[in-house]
Amino acid sequence: DQQVKQNSPSLSVQEGRISILNCDYTNSMFDYFLWYKKYPAEGPTFLISISSIKDKNEDGRFTVFLNKSAKHLSLHIVPSQPGDSAVYFCAASVYNTDKLIFGTGTRLQVFP
Amino acid sequence: DADVTQTPRNRITKTGKRIMLECSQTKGHDRMYWYRQDPGLGLQLIYYSFDVKDINKGEISDGYSVSRQAQAKFSLSLESAIPNQTALYFCATSDSQGHGYTFGSGTRLTVV
């Protein structure tokens, strides 16, 4: 049972354009959502997070949107840069457990 | 030095062999985790530990065991390796909030 789903395994975007990565979840007990970025031969690194009490969090070129009624969150990268090319994992934690449940990842390629 | 160090980085072993993957951290975090990554399946939690005396099974603990030798060290063992345990293994740590994980660079394990 996949509680966190990233239905797009890959995304290709031109440099300078917006990248939108999507994530759906099924567990209404999730209270915190995070995005991690992973380059080849490296471990995932934390990118941005959002609490379930908010609907938007912004950090520079990265913005995460949360739609609780739809159980959907998205990561917007504007403008996209070649260095953003990586695999992006959506993750969620259940209230009071501190365990993270990860999605399957979306490979983003930003081309010139 | 990396905050979270995993050894070895790569390992090829034969079916039926016992193998140990090691993880050490300099973050001073109490919480440590072992995940495996398979193509198309994202990151799946194997075991986690919230302090030296606390060990918990994750989603896919069968065939694995762990040891928390000290706050800074958390090792993962495959008692009798089998080919479907071929994967990329990640160790991670977090602080008491549990949200911002720091990952190691991973161990690529191949069981032949």
- Test the A interface: residue of B99, B103, B105, B108 with most A CBs within 10 Å: B99
pLDDT number for residue B97: 65
Q: With an 8 Å Cβ cutoff, is A30 touching chain B?
A: no
CB B3 within 8 A of CB B23: no
Q: Nearest to residue B4, comparing CAs of B100, B96, B87?
A: B100
- The average pLDDT across B52-77 equals 95
pLDDT number for residue A39: 94
- The average pLDDT across B13-36 equals 96
- Residue with the bigger pLDDT between B51 and B75: it is B75
Burial class, A25, CB count within 10 angstroms (exposed 0-12 / middle 13-18 / buried 19+): buried
Q: Rounded to whole angstroms, how far apart are CA atoms B30 and B72?
A: 8
A100:B104 CB<8 A: no
Categorize the per-residue pLDDT at B76 as very low, low, confident or very high, splitting at 50, 70 and 90: very high
Q: Rounded to whole angstroms, how far apart are CA atoms B97 and A46?
A: 14
**Which residues, given as ranges, of chain A have pLDDT below 50?**
none
The two three-digit tokens of residue B22, written as one number: 């090691």
pLDDT at B40 over 90: no
How far is CA B35 from its chain centroid? 6
Q: With an 8 Å Cβ cutoff, is B45 touching chain A?
A: yes
Q: Rounded to whole angstroms, how far apart are CA atoms A20 and A11?
A: 9
Amino acid at residue number B63:
G
Q: With an 8 Å Cβ cutoff, is A43 touching chain B?
A: yes
- Residue with the bigger pLDDT between B73 and B2: it is B73
